[in-house]
Structure 1
Amino acid sequence: MSAPSSPPSEEASVTRLAEIGFEAPATLLARYGLSLEHVAPGTAIPGSFWGDEEAGIIGNTVYARDDTPVHSLLHEAGHLIVLPPERRAFVHTDATDSIDEEDATCYLQIVLADELPGVGRQQLMADMDAWGYTYRLGSTRAWFEQDAENARHWLVEHGLLDTQGRPVFS
């Protein structure tokens, strides 16, 4: 699995925060002890690795604008969720270089999409494909369903998913 090397050059047709609002994502993140900070339109997003409309992370806060893709918000939040609280405090922009944590983050963002009204995992996986995530099986869905057992197992081992694959909230 790999995340895109950079965001698409043209605005991809993906679900954006403006379409679902900030209340549901903020409530979801709060269940993990995280905050969602709404960034004003046209303002640089603090802690954004890719810049542009991509979500950012600093400490326990995820930053996003109305034009931020939902998959980006969930991915960056996922990076913080998979980290132990003592490591979160030191995060600024780049959360990890661990392949296991990156895979777990991608898996978790898909599962968490089901917690957001109007999104769900099928839409999120389509958005990830449209954005340029790449997997050796050719699509996000194929990876999730056929090649992500290590990520799922990691999340269960770390108490972030139950044995049925449902999120465990802190």
Structure 2
Amino acid sequence: MLRLRDIGFQAPARLLESHGLELVPVADAAPIPGSFWGDDEAGLIGTRVFARPATPVHSLLHEACHLIVMPPERRGSVHTDATDCDREEDATCCLQIILADQLPGVGRERLMADMDAWGYSFRLGSARAWFEHDAEDALAFLRERGLPSE
């Protein structure tokens, strides 16, 4: 599984900043503030996404994309759990796959493989099958919000 220590914090920080978010590095042994899953999984509080070097890249992107897909007026009140509805969750998964192409050394193929390895669950059995054959509603949601959808 690809982790932030493998790609560094610089490119992910720039990507998040381009969406009005801040990537906050956390020391290796410290708990990650706002982490829903605990362990090495990314956390979020307001417009800040917390991660340490051992945080999986898919986790960082997933939490950041929760914030990106939600209306800006909701972002400030988010702490740990950002899910609002199934449609927003699907759009989050879709956007994290799309944005993976903007991170050197990541890309959507690698990200989808890591999503499957972590245990994301999709009706069609894999992140790739879902993204390629069942994500039209999520892509429409992203287009409605003016977010990347290709």
- Structure with greater helix percent: 2
Structure 1 counterpart SS, 2:109: helix
Please, which of 29, 36, 40 is the counterpart of residue 27 of structure 2? 40
Inter-partner Cα distance in structure 2 for 1:93 and 1:47: 4
TM superposition shift of 1:92: 0.2
TM-score for the superposition, normalised by structure 2? 0.98
Aligned-residue offset at 1:97: 3.1
The question of 1:102 aligning with 2:83 is answered: no
Q: What are the superposed Cα offsets for residues 31-57 of structure 1, whole Å, 9 maximum, x if unpaired?
A: 011000000001000000010000000
Match of 1:53 in 2: 40
Q: What is the match of residue 71 of structure 2?
A: 84
State the one-letter code of the partner of 1:27. R
Gaps of at least 5 residues in structure 1 are 1-13
Q: How does 1:1-170 map to 2 (within 5 A)?
A: 14-161=1-148, 165-166=149-150
Q: Give the letter aligned to residue 70 of structure 2.
A: L
Instruction: Find runs of 4+ consecutive structure 1 residues off by over 6 angstroms.
Output: none
- In the TM superposition, what is the alpha-carbon distance from 1:84 to its structure 2 partner? 1.5
Q: CA-atom RMSD, angstroms?
A: 0.7
